[in-house]
Structure 1
Amino acid sequence: MTANTPRVRRTQAERVAESDRRLMEAAIRLIARVGYTHTTLESIGIEAGYSRGLVQHRFGSKDQMLEELVNKIATDQRERLLARLQGLRGMDALLCEIDCYLEGMDTPPERARAFYMLMQESLGPAPHIRTAFAAISARWHRALARQIEVGQEAGQIRPDVDPAAEARLLIATLRGLRMQSMLDPNTSNIAKSIDSLKCGLRARLLQTL
């Protein structure tokens, strides 16, 4: 673009989308750094380069904004996962879920830290977002259980395996490993943990000849 090239004006919708993105990213950075309690609408606005009034105008309240933030992080993660799950079914899909969820455990991104901090605080000072996390967990549980059922229908996974119970165990294990890596990455052998989890899953679920 030269000095004489006319500047393209963004539409109102584009400006709103840009400000929403910046506000969400600012909230993620702050929550990852100082947690839910110490993150305020004013601090989010300042971090994003806007005013507190804009944050309140867009989202109404801190609680409403954080609920939207939780759902956005989960939706973005799910979309990335679905792109990688293309063509995978049954056990292959379960192993892909493990890889996707535990990627970057040694250097967790800010959004992962923010997500887990909010999950923990939903049990204490932020109970209003607990229903959002419960809904996310329920959707994930259904998706994992369905992949186990697909594996059973294909004769790949043992018919006596309880899909719901195994899906619940896998979610708990993945979240536990993720949390442990954040608490003390120096004591978490990430690659070994992932390999052990996959080996254990294969041993429990796969049909034997």
Structure 2
Amino acid sequence: MAGRGPYAKTAATREQALDAALRIIAERGLSGTTVQEIADAVGMTKAGLLYHFGSREALLTAVLARREGIEVLGGEHGVLDGFVAALRANTSVPGLVALYSVLAGSAGSADADSEQRRYFAARYPLLRRVLAAEIEREQRAGGIPAERDPAALASLFIAAADGLQNQWLLDPDIDVAAHLELLADLVRT
């Protein structure tokens, strides 16, 4: 049975706005996108759009969360290869890489109760746990030396991925995926 009432309409409106924001930011980049353009794309006023999210930062954080729901972390050869593939895919949408970098970079100084800070405060530990579990699986299969600390490796891969993407935004000649593949090769030897 389809949802009814104002909540169903609000949820559908949020989904429509997130789809539009994801598309516009991917096409035009973060600096080339305004909240008004997103509102226009879904036939709303800026105030009406922000009503559904609470703030510009909450809207942008929701766009990131939507994007991360689309990404595939694992690869057929293991999590490290999947991580490399995700970074390779990210370079096809610089606007979303910029969105991630801006929000991640400012999350630490954001208000403790902000959507942005809560998102990253939850994202990093979850990603570390997922990566560490997959690294342990690769260790049991003999692909990564057993003496390497999976939690530390997970943190290093996340830091490398975030840093490489920031560098790539400033210098598109940097091959983010190749650099992360090199790190994966070093971890496996």
Q: TM-score, with normalisation over the residues of structure 1?
A: 0.67
Identity of aligned residues (%): 26
Q: Could you say what the CA RMSD is over the residues aligned between the two structures, in angstroms?
A: 3.3
8 Å CA contact retained: 2:60, 2:99: no
Q: In 1, distance between residues paired with 2:49 and 2:103? A: 19
8 Å CA contact retained: 1:73, 1:115: no
Q: In 2, distance between residues paired with 1:155 and 1:199? A: 14
- Alpha carbons of structure 1 residues 22 and 114: separation in structure 2 relative to 1, 3 Å: farther
Q: In 1, distance between residues paired with 2:57 and 2:181? A: 39
Q: CA deviation at 1:180?
A: 1.0
Map 1:114-193 to 2 at 5 A: 114-124=99-109, 128=114, 129-186=116-173, 188-190=174-176, 192-193=178-179
Out of 73, 76, 87, which is 1:81 matched to? 73
Structure 2 SS opposite 1:103? helix
Structure-2 residue corresponding to 1:113 = 98
More displaced 10-residue stretch of structure 1: 161-170 or 115-124? 115-124
Q: CA deviation at 1:154?
A: 3.4
Q: Which has the larger radius of gyration?
A: 1
Out of 37, 52, 60, which is 1:58 matched to? 52
Give unpaired runs (5+ residues) of structure 1.
1-10, 204-209
Q: In 1, distance between residues paired with 2:144 and 2:78? A: 12
8 Å CA contact retained: 1:105, 1:182: no
Q: CA deviation at 1:183?
A: 1.6
Q: In 1, distance between residues paired with 2:59 and 2:93? A: 23
8 Å CA contact retained: 1:32, 1:117: no
Q: In 1, distance between residues paired with 2:175 and 2:60? A: 32
